[in-house]
Amino acid sequence: MDIEKKINSLREELQQHNYNYYVLDKPQISDYEFDVKMEELQKLEEEHPEFKDENSPTQRVGGAVTKNFATVQHEYRMYSLSNSYSKEELEDWEKRIRKVIDGKVEYVCELKYDGASISLTYENGILQKAVTRGDGFQGDDVTNNVKTIRSVPLKLKDDYPVKFHIRGEIVLPYEGFAKMNAERVDVGEEPYANPRNTASGSLKLQDSAEVARRPLECLLYSIVGKDVNVSSQFEGLEKAKNWGFKVPAQSELKDSIDEVLDYINYWDQHRHDLPYETDGVVVKVNNFHQQEELGHTAKSPRWAMAYKFKAEQESTKLKKITYQVGRTGAITPVANLEPVQLAGTVVKRASLHNADQIEKLDVREGDTVFVEKGGEIIPKIVGVDFTKRDPDSSPTQYATHCPECGSELIRNEGEAQHYCPNTTGCPPQIIGRIQHYISRKAMDIEGLGGETVALLVNADLIENYADLYTLKKEDILPLERMAQKSAENLINGIEKSKEIPFERVLFALGIRYVGETVAKKLAKHFKSIDALMAASEEELINLDEIGERIAWSVVDFFKTEANVQNVQRLKEYGVQLEISAEKLANQTNILEGNTFVISGVFEKVSRNELKKLIEDNGGKVSSSISSKTNYLVAGDNMGPSKLAKAEKLGTNIISEDDFLKMLE
- Residues whose CB falls within 8 Å of the CB of residue 297, separated by 6 or more in sequence, listed in order: 82
Under 8 Å between Cβ of 479 and 452: yes
Cα–Cα distance for residue pair 290/546, rounded to 1 Å? 29
Cα–Cα distance for residue pair 561/573, rounded to 1 Å? 18
What are residue 460's DSSP bridge partners? none
Query: Could you confirm whether 112 is annotated as catalytic?
Result: yes
The β-bridge relationship of strands 595-599 and 620-622 is parallel
What are the two backbone dihedrals, phi and then psi, of residue 313, each rounded to the nearest 5 degrees?
-135, 140
Neighbours of 363 (CB within 10 A): 20
Amino acid, single-letter form, for residue 506: L
Helix, coil or strand: residue 451: helix
> Environment class of residue 373 by beta-carbon count within 10 Å: exposed (0-12), middle (13-18) or buried (19+)?
buried
With both helix axes pointing from N to C terminus, report the angle between 561-572 and 548-559 in degrees, rounded to the nearest 10: 80
Helix, coil or strand: residue 305: strand
> Environment class of residue 57 by beta-carbon count within 10 Å: exposed (0-12), middle (13-18) or buried (19+)?
buried
Within 13 Å, how many C-alpha atoms sit on residue 563's CB side? 19
What are residue 110's DSSP bridge partners? 282
Say which of 112, 147, 308, 642 is annotated catalytic: 112
Cα–Cα distance for residue pair 503/313, rounded to 1 Å? 42
Q: What amino acid positions are annotated as catalytic residues?
A: 112
